[in-house]
Structure 1
Amino acid sequence: MSKPLEGIKVVEVAMWAFVPVTGGMLADLGAEVIKVEPPSGDPIRGLQTGGTEGAARGLDYSWESYNRGKHSITLDLKQEAGRAVLMKLLADADVFLTSLLPPARRSMGIDAGTLRAAFPGLIYASGSASGPNGPESGKGGYDAISFWARGGVSSSITEDGADRPVGPPGPAFGDSLSGSMLAGAVSAALVKKARTGEGSEVDVSLLGTAMWAMQRVIAQATDNDVLKFPRPADLAPHNVLVCNYRTRDGRFVALCMLQADKYWTRLCEAAGRPDLAADPRYATAAARRENRAACFADMQALFASKTLGEWKTILARQDGQWDVVQHVGEMKDDVQVRANRYLQRVDCGDGTDLPLVSLPMLFEKQAMPARRAPELGADSDAVLQGLGYSEEAIITLKVQGVVF
């Protein structure tokens, strides 16, 4: 099966996770992605974010996840000779990806105005902290501050009176979402280019992506002039069939039965508690809301009376919406993960393999094959030769410190 972006050339000058996520997605979709790194490499290489980071196997899961399938060339873009190589790379490129701050881009002559003037058909795609306009457009940011904190995500999920705001569930949470958004913007710009021949300048920010994810509550807070919606601990839900419940063995089951009256009796009967369905206090959604403290307590006791395994059997007998609150280490055994190849084993070339999460986009019901991320400068010589540099010229660039 051919890949959707085969024949598309992408040049990436980006670091850390946000914009590299975009490049990794485009690579999985078939684009040739050439990652331009400084001689010291992208600083995310070897970044320790907790856990072993695959040290025993020499793996860096962050690097592998966000830079999958790319080619790596090292260039010192602070030198004229390095920028000259970049211009040759861009001569037949479709997309330029960058996460550098505007002042750095201008100083290197790789800002949007300069590159689009030189290459009118180029799609210039940038990832920013809080957008390309406004007084803080030149300010940098990271997932934890621009997406999670400033974007209202953290405060919205933190219980009232907590000692500190809830933090991200793992590395690059907002980066991955924002990088996906930027990949979508690039794809739309590629369609425009195919249709009109025109290039585009596109930008996605961590702040804007967080707001998109939080759009429902932001719209309501804005319309109602509310600072923050309260989030008290252990609040009885208005609908007891939209809640997470602890089981006897300490696991959790998530219910999301929005049409409560449709499922209430079926659930109670499947659980062996028809008396709850018959209780006049709980007969309708309105009655359950009016008596929600008592109803919630009964539901908590009911779920605490059985193990997760027992609940999986019980809940499978009724057609309401539910699922298990899974741990990340369980994902590899999920039947749907396996059936759709949402997790792949990528050959490392040394008799071992590496697990990588697949793009969540299936084409013809097939997952896009993933590949490993490159070693630093692994493709420098091959890329330069492809641009017409002789062996002598390549050696000269290395002696000058332009290429590693």
Structure 2
Amino acid sequence: MTQVMKGVRILEVAQFTFVPAAGGVLADWGADVLKIEHPTRGDAQRGLGVLQKITLNEHRNMLMQHPNRGKRSVGIDIYTDEGRELLYELAKSCDVFLTNFLPSARRKLKIDVEDIRKHNPRIIYARGSAFGDKGPDRERGGFDASAFWARGGSAMLVSPPELGGPLQQPGPAYGDTIGAMFIAGGISAALFHRERTGEAVEMDVSLLSSGVWATACSVDIAMDLGMAPFKSAMPGQEAAGTNPFMGVFRTADGKYLSMTVLTPGPYIRDTFEHMNLAELADDPRFSTDKALMENAAVARPLLVEEIAKHPMQYWTERLATMQGQWAPVQDVFDVSSDPQVTANGFIFEVESADGSGRPMRLVANPVQFDHEPVQNTRAPEAWEHTELVLMEMGVEWERIEALKAKGAIA
């Protein structure tokens, strides 16, 4: 695997998923990511034992594995003078300081940009936040369900008015994972800029900015019209609109396929033939692009009826050669066995830390270099690499023992 970030060192002072997942991406790409964790508490997410009634195995906790694969965990209490001095020493050898601590916490702990750059003027200072580094909500914390999903516009875009309220975010760390890629991309650009100019920049990505970017096309149109024009339809009640080849259709076994033949004109005959409705391609109501659009409300029920006659497996085989665009609607477990996902290496395996020998499967970041899938190691156990990293720094064993005795390190 081509490690485009090999030789880059990241100093991460962050918790939960949004910002740590960016460190995980950079580790996928070959960076040495040093995750600083409190010597007794560790990352706050390690203490999450139950997720939606699912008991989490601390040694196979996917909420820790996903954002922290490939890192090294160093237990330092940065609330102590001794621990903070160690952090500054580490910063001298790092290219990026990555954090999601709130401004007030950064000031209190003396880890703000000016504090870190006293010890390394060339370090890139990367911040992830809920609402951005300016404005009245700068000091507020937040999670993706609120800052990304709700406030960024996604919740209302996907919620039919008939529901009487907005839908919840689809699954844990949804906005966190999306936003993390923006942080990783921003850091990559900042490193490139420093390489070209010698200038080390400050960089900000927020859950709110990520959420607004996810809905950008809709927001752009809304601003131009002076209103929110988009309304989501209830399942089974999608309006045919002007294109009957768009929408979700139920199969005989209760599954769904999504058709997105955005420009139906060139595909009218091919689509009807694959739908076992070849005769409709010669029906003057549907045989041309203009006629199909005008009679969409008539054509759609015919498609709904035919698709409902056969199970998903039938349609998967039947539509394999269809020229227009379609896809099965899958749940997250279906995704894990999707042959296209497997063929492209979008999921990879890491060793387990629980002693079972059963590997853990993780989703790879979506970027590949030179056609090669991601290879990485599991997330570290808390404080797994403290002594090793400190010895790499040249810290003598006597000092390590003394720091342990004071509780400054784990």
Instruction: Give your verdict on TM over 0.5.
Output: yes
Q: Helix, strand or coil for the counterpart of 2:247? A: strand
Equivalent position to 1:344, from 336, 339, 348: 348
Measure, in 1, the Cα distance between the counterparts of 2:268 and 2:47.
51
Which secondary structure does the structure 2 equivalent of 1:364 belong to? coil
Listed as ranges, the matches of 1:4-43 within 5 Å are 4-39=4-39, 40-43=41-44
**Matched AA of 2:240:** P
Q: Which runs of 5+ in 2 are unaligned?
A: none
5 Å-filtered alignment, 1:166-181, equals 166-181=167-182
Offset, 1:282: 2.2
Mapping for residues 205-220 of structure 1, pairs under 5 Å: 205-220=206-221
Q: Within 2, Cα distance between the matches of 1:332 and 1:103?
A: 41
The alignment status of 1:389 with 2:389, answered yes or no, reads no
Could you say which residue in structure 1 is the equivalent of 2:93?
92
2:324 matched to 1:320? yes
Letter in 1 for 2:327: D
Equivalent residues of 2:272, 2:280 under 8 A apart = yes
Give the Cα separation in 1 of the matches to 2:228 and 2:277: 42
State the AA in 2 paired with 1:17: T
Contact 2:2 2:372 in 1 (8 A): no
After the TM superposition, which residues 231-380 of structure 1 pair with which residues of structure 2 at under 5 Å, given as runs?
Answer: 231-233=232-234, 234-238=237-241, 239-348=243-352, 350=355, 351-380=357-386
CA contact (8 A) 1:156 1:228 kept: no
Kindly state the Cα deviation for residue 51 of structure 1 after the two structures are TM-superposed. 5.3
Secondary structure of the residue that 1:124 maps to in structure 2? Answer: strand
Q: Distance in 1 between matches of 2:322 and 2:363?
A: 32
- Once the two structures are TM-superposed, the CA of residue 134 in structure 1 deviates from its matched residue by 1.2
CA shift, 1:368, in A, is 2.1
Larger mean Cα displacement after TM superposition, 189-198 or 94-103: 189-198
Tell me the CA shift for residue 70 of structure 1: 0.5
Does the aligned pair in 2 maintain the 1:120–1:198 contact within 8 Å? Answer: no
Output the amino acid matched with 1:23.
G
- Confirm or deny: 8 A CA contact 1:74 1:377 kept in the other structure: yes
Shifted more, 127-136 versus 289-298: the winner is: 289-298
Equivalent of 2:54 in 24, 45, 52? 52
Residues 74, 376 of structure 1: 8 Å contact kept: yes
Paired positions, count: 403
Q: Where does 1:214-233 land on structure 2 (aligned, <5 Å)?
A: 214-227=215-228, 229-233=230-234
Q: Which sections of structure 1, spanning at least 5 residues, go unmatched?
A: none
Match of 2:405 in 1: 399
Counterpart AA for 1:206:
L
Amino acid across the alignment from 2:340: Q
The code of the aligned residue for 1:389 comes to V
Range that drifts further, 258-267 or 227-236: 227-236
**AA in 2 matched with 1:323:** A
Offset at 1:45? 1.0
Shift in Å, 1:375: 0.6
Amino acid at match of 2:394: G
Q: Indicate the larger mover: 269-278 or 318-327.
A: 269-278
1:33 & 1:115 partners in 2: Cα distance? 17
C-alpha distance after superposition, 1:228-251 (max 9, x if no partner): 522343132321112111111111
Q: Secondary structure at the match of 2:342?
A: helix
CA distance 1:185–1:272, shift in 2 (3 Å): same
Comparing 341-350 with 27-36, greater Cα deviation is found at 341-350
User: Any conservation in 1 of the 2:60–2:352 contact (CA below 8 Å)?
Assistant: no
Greater mean alpha carbon deviation, residues 207-216 or residues 46-55: 46-55
Instruction: Report the more deviating stretch, 237-246 or 146-155.
Output: 237-246
**Contact 1:236 / 1:296 at 8 angstroms: preserved in 2?**
no
2:146 is equivalent to residue 142 of structure 1? no
Rounded to whole Å, the distance in 2 between the matches of 1:139 and 1:54 is 29
Query: Aligned-pair distance for 1:281?
Result: 2.4
CA distance in 1, matches of 2:3, 2:254: 44
The whole-number CA distance in structure 1 between the counterparts of 2:55 and 2:376 is: 19
Report deviation, 1:109.
Answer: 1.0
Amino acid at match of 2:201: S
Asked if the contact 1:11–1:97 (Cα under 8 Å) also holds between the matched residues in 2, the reply is yes
Q: In percent, how many aligned pairs have the same letter?
A: 36
How much does 1:326 deviate? 1.8
Instruction: Tell me the amino acid that sits aligned with residue 113 of structure 2.
Output: A
Amino acid at match of 2:42: G
Give how far 1:59 is off.
1.2
Q: Distance in 1 between matches of 2:406 and 2:380?
A: 23
CA shift at 1:98, angstroms?
Answer: 0.1
> Mean Cα displacement is larger for which, 295-304 or 45-54?
45-54
Cα deviation digits, residues 25-59 of structure 1 (max 9, x gap): 1111111000001121111114222253553x841
Read off the aligned partner of 2:28 and give its amino acid letter: D
Distance 2:162 2:335 in 1: 33
Where 1:316 maps in the other structure, the secondary structure is helix
For 2:260, give the aligned amino acid: C
1:152 and 1:332 map into 2 onto residues whose CA distance is 28
Q: CA RMSD in A?
A: 1.6
Determine the C-alpha separation between the residues in 2 that align with 1:58 and 1:73.
Answer: 17
**CA separation in 1, counterparts of 2:298 and 2:53?**
43
Amino acid of the residue matched to residue 314 of structure 2? E
